[in-house]
Chains A and B, each alone.
Chain A
Amino acid sequence: MALRGTAKRISSFMKKWTPLLVFLFILFFAFPPLAPAQVQTRVRVIEASNVGSVIDPSLRDLHGQLGSLFRYTSYRLLRDERINLSPNQPASVPVHQGRSIEITQVGLQANMAELRVRIKRDGADILNTQVRLSPGRTVLVGGPKHGEGVVILALSANF
């Protein structure tokens, strides 16, 4: 008797809720969960040179990538900034010698943030780019001379 009652309850539950569950399931896949609005971006300003062979300890996570891409022997961290980017709110970080980097979050999906990056020198744009960053991916912007080497900006995002 108890079993029959349980079966009846399960059956009526299924009848009642199955359409709703199916509808919710379809909704879940049709519309991915909303991404968080803020993107935490890390900007590291690195001086790369062939003077010495110093690898800054805080660049350990990047060392393998830098070593596989460049021939420099020394990587020194000049600046390490973490910025919380809100949508369409530009944030600026001074880099070196009158240069600054301005980053704006222009889009955000579940696993990808679109960032507009402007590097300015004395207020004028010298580089204007837009990149898609997923957590764990790094964009290196480098080339301008700095001291005995060059300056490299490492951009990464977490959200």
Chain B
Amino acid sequence: MKDSCSSIAQMLEKYFDRQATDQEKSLVENHLSDCTICQEKLGDLEGLRMFIKAPVDAALRQETFPWIWERIEKGIRQERKLSWWESLRSWLDLSPLFRKRVWIPAMATAIILILVTSPLLFFKKDPSYSERSVVEYVESGVYNVMVYESENAKVTVIWLFEGPQNESPAS
């Protein structure tokens, strides 16, 4: 064996297992091109692999794995097509909605919504006079002004009095 063979020998197994880096691979291949000893060693490794692999492959070819088929058949039976009645029942089945994963977030959402909306729905703010009032302000340098606001009739009257002899609202 050459001196460099000892250093290559460490990399040869990695090369054989296809785990060598590109640099190691090129070093090994360069060495193998002119080293018959290492070529033989690599051949031995390949022979050993074939020696182990052949009986395993043969055993695998003979094995039918009945337990796998059993599971597949079971799965097929479970996945069989449902009748229309079974499909309808599965659609109407609300039980998944009552699982914890679903109803906990749903309940939390409902509670938050109730907390947020209840003040708006049940505690109506009593409008202040200025909010109820239709006329915010009125001013006239010429007329006397009367404002009459009727909430029920949905009408507001701004009446201008030109003088004592003029018309006035009469209800």
Q: Which residues of A contact B (CB under 8 A)?
A: 1-4, 6-8, 10-11, 14-15, 18, 21-22, 25-26, 29, 64-65, 68-71, 114, 121, 125-133, 136-145, 149-150
Majority secondary structure, A binding face: mixed
For B119, the closest partner residue in chain A by CB is A29
Please provide the chain B residues from 77 to 125 with a CB less than 8 Å away from any CB of chain A in the complex: 78-79, 90, 93, 95-97, 99, 101-102, 105-106, 108-109, 112-113, 116-117, 120
Kindly state the separation between the CA atoms of A139 and B135 in the bound complex, as whole angstroms. 9
Binding site for A on B (CB under 8 A): 78-79, 90, 93, 95-97, 99, 101-102, 105-106, 108-109, 112-113, 116-117, 120, 133-143, 145, 148, 150, 153-162, 166-171
Q: Which of A4, A133, A141 has the most CB of B within 10 A?
A: A141
Question: Contact between A71 and B143 (Cβ–Cβ < 8 Å)?
Answer: no
Q: Assess whether A126 is in contact with B140, with CB atoms less than 8 Å apart.
A: yes
Bound: A142/B157 CA distance, A: 8
23 contacts between A and B (CB under 8 A): A3-B95, A4-B96, A7-B96, A7-B97, A7-B102, A10-B102, A11-B99, A22-B112, A29-B117, A64-B153, A65-B153, A71-B170, A121-B142, A126-B143, A127-B140, A127-B142, A130-B135, A130-B138, A139-B157, A140-B155, A142-B157, A145-B162, A149-B167
Contact A136 B154 (CB under 8 A): yes
Q: Which residue of A lies closest to B160 (CB)?
A: A143
Residues in A whose Cβ lies below 8 Å from that of B138? 127-130
Residue of A nearest to B131 (CB): A132
B170 / chain A contacts, CB cutoff of 8 Å: 70-71
Q: For A68, list chain B residues within 8 Å (CB).
A: 153, 171
Known contacts A65-B155, A130-B137, A140-B156; A14/B167 CB under 8 A: no
Q: Is the CB of A139 within 8 A of B96?
A: no
Query: In the complex, what's the smallest C-beta–C-beta distance from B155 to chain A, in angstroms?
Result: 5
Residues of B within 8 A of A25 (CB): 113, 116
Q: A22-B109, A138-B155, A140-B155 are in contact. Are A126 and B99 (CB under 8 A)?
A: no
Q: Which residues from B are CB-within-8-Å of A29?
A: 116-117, 120
Residues of B within 8 A of A121 (CB): 142
| A143 adjacent to B161 (CB under 8 Å) | yes
Docked Cα-Cα span, A144 to B143, in Å, equals 9
**B112 with A7: CB separation less than 8 A:** no
- Nearest CB of chain A from residue B131's CB, rounded to whole Å: 9
Q: Which of A3, A11, A70, A130 contacts B169 (CB 8 A)?
A: A70
Q: In the bound complex, what is the Cα–Cα distance between A136 and B155 (angstroms)?
A: 9
Query: How far, in whole Å, are A113 and B54 apart by their CA atoms in the complex?
Result: 91
Q: Is the CB of A144 within 8 A of B171?
A: no
Among candidates B90, B142, B157, residue contacting A140 with C-beta atoms closer than 8 Å: B157
- Residues of B contacting A140 with CB < 8 Å? 155-158
